[in-house]
Amino acid sequence: MLSLTNKRILLGITGGIAAYKCAELTRLFSKAGADVRIAMTRSATEFITPLTMQALSGNRVHLELLDTEAEAAMGHIELARWADLVLIAPATADFIARIVHGQANDILSTLVLATSAPIAVAPAMNQAMWSDPGTQSNLQLLRDRSYHIFGPAEGEQACGDVGLGRMLEPAELIEECASLFKSDYLAGRKIVITGGPTREALDPVRFISNHSSGKMAYALAAEAVFAGAKVILISGPVQLQTPDRVTRIDVESADQMLEATLAQIEAADVFIGVAAVADYRPKNAAQEKIKKSTGEIQLTLVKNPDIISEVARLDPRPVVVGFAAETNDILENGRKKLQKKNLDLLFANNATETFNSETISVTAISPTGEKEIPTANKNVVARNILQLIAETLTQKS
Ligand code: C5P
C-alpha cells in the first residue's frame, strides 16, 4: 500500500461498539507504513482501552484536552497540524452532530476544528439512528464541507437490528484512506525541483551556507510522485531520506546546482525552485586551508547565478515556480520577485517561521492574483501547492 507509506494518520475513536475494530485498524495502518496517533473521546475508552491503542500505535493516546503531560509531548494544535489525514472511526451520531456545530468540548472535537488536513468520517450506529433525518442532514453538511464519508455498511448490528449503520471493516477503511492519497493530477508530467541549501567553498574545509533543511522540497517531491509525476530532485546537502521513486541528484554549490538543472530541464513540464541558493560565493576558494592570522581577513564575494531566472529565460520553458522566504513585507517582496524573475507562480512565506520547521503557511502569488494556503504540515501544504501548479499547467496547455 504505497500511498500510505510515511503518511501521518490521526485516528479519532468515539464511543461505539465498533471501537474494538480500531485495534486491527491501527495494526493495518502501521503495516502499510503509516504513522498513527490516536485521540479518543471519554466514551470510546468504555469500549477499548487506551493502553491497547497505545501498544498498537506505539504512541501515547490523547484523551484529555487539558492534559499537561500530553501537551508537553505534542500539544493539540501541533497534533492537528501534524496530521496528513484525520480519520474518525467509529463516528457516532452524537459526535457527527457535535462536529457539524463546530463544538470543541473535548480533545477530538477540538482537533477536528483545528486541523487543516482532510477529514474522513466512518459512521457507525443503529440503522434507525442512521436513517433519522437529523443524522442524514448532518452528514450532508459534512459532505458540503468536503469531509469524506466512508460507509456505513449494511448488515447485522450489535443491537440485533439489520440494516445500514455498520462501520466499514478495517481493511476497507485502509483502502478508502489510501485512495485519498492516490491521485493522478500530475500523471505523465516531468517535474524538476531544487531543494536544500548550497555550500560555497572558502577553502577545502570551510563554506558559506544557510539554515535550509530541504523539508519543503522533499515534501513536494514525494507528493508529486503520488500525483503521478516523474520527479528529479536536485538537492543541496541535507539530512533527509530520498522519497520513494524520486531521482535525486546531489550537488553542493550554486554553480553545480545550475549545471545539474540545465542538464535535466529538457522536456520538463514544471520547474520548482525551492532551494535556498547562496546569493554570493567567495571569489577565489583557497586551494589550501586558510591559516589563522592575527588581524582581520578580507573576503571578496561574487554573485552566484540565479538558477530560476536562467530557467525562466529558456525557450520553450516549463512552468516556472519559485519560493520566497522573506522576513519582512512578505507579499510585496514576493510580488516583486515574481515579476523580476519572470515566474508563473511564487509561494511567499515567513523565513523566520519556516526554516527547519515541520509546518508552514504560504501565499500563492501569480500574475493574476493571490491565494493563502493556511498553516499545516509541509506534506499537506505541498499537496495544495501542487494542485495550484497543476491548475496553472492546465491553463497553459
Ligand atoms: O533568494 P531569493 O529570495 O531570490 O529566492 C527566490 C527564488 O529564486 C527561489 O525559488 C529560489 O530557489 C530561486 N533562486 C535561484 N537561484 C538563486 C537565488 C534564488 O534559483 N541564485
Ligand 1 pocket list (CB less than 6 A): 194, 254, 273-275, 277, 279, 304, 306-308, 322-324, 337
Based on the domain organization, do 108 and 61 belong to the same domain? yes
Average pLDDT, the chain: 93
For residue 160, pLDDT beyond 90: no
Based on the domain organization, do 57 and 128 belong to the same domain? yes
With respect to residue 184, please indicate whether it lies within any of the assigned structural domains. no
C-alpha dist (Å) from residue 287 to 203, 205, 244, 282, 303: 6, 10, 38, 12, 20
pLDDT, tens digit (0-9, with 9 covering 90-100), for 325-375: 888 899 999 999 999 999 999 999 988 776 667 788 899 999 999 999 988
pLDDT-derived band at 73, boundaries 50, 70, 90: confident
Nearest to 164 by CA among 189, 196, 132, 130: 130
306 Cα to the center of ligand 1, angstroms = 6
- The domain that holds 89 is classified in CATH as 3.40.50.1950
For residue 108, pLDDT beyond 70: yes
356: left (phi over 0), alpha (psi -120 to 50) or beta: left
Q: Domain count of the chain? A: 2
pLDDT-derived band at 1, boundaries 50, 70, 90: low
For residue 2, pLDDT beyond 60: no
- The domain that holds 262 is classified in CATH as 3.40.50.10300
Residue 45 CB contacts under 8 Å (≥ 6 apart), including other chains: 63
Catalytic, out of 55, 73, 128, 159 = 159
Q: Return the pLDDT at 396.
A: 83
Based on the domain organization, do 310 and 390 belong to the same domain? yes
**Which residue range(s) make up the domain with 220?**
190-396
With respect to residue 1, please indicate whether it lies within any of the assigned structural domains. no
Ligand 1 closest atom vs CA 305: 21
Q: Return the pLDDT at 355.
A: 65
pLDDT, tens digit (0-9, with 9 covering 90-100), for 221-272: 999 998 989 999 999 999 998 987 899 999 999 999 999 999 999 999 999 9
For residue 152, pLDDT beyond 60: yes
159: annotated active-site residue = yes
pTM of the model: 0.71
Based on the domain organization, do 200 and 79 belong to the same domain? no
Q: Is residue 28 a contact partner of residue 171, using CB atoms and an 8 Å limit?
A: yes
Query: Any idea which residue has 544557510 for its cell?
Result: 210
Average pLDDT over residues 187-198: 96
pLDDT, tens digit (0-9, with 9 covering 90-100), for 307-326: 999 999 999 999 999 999 88
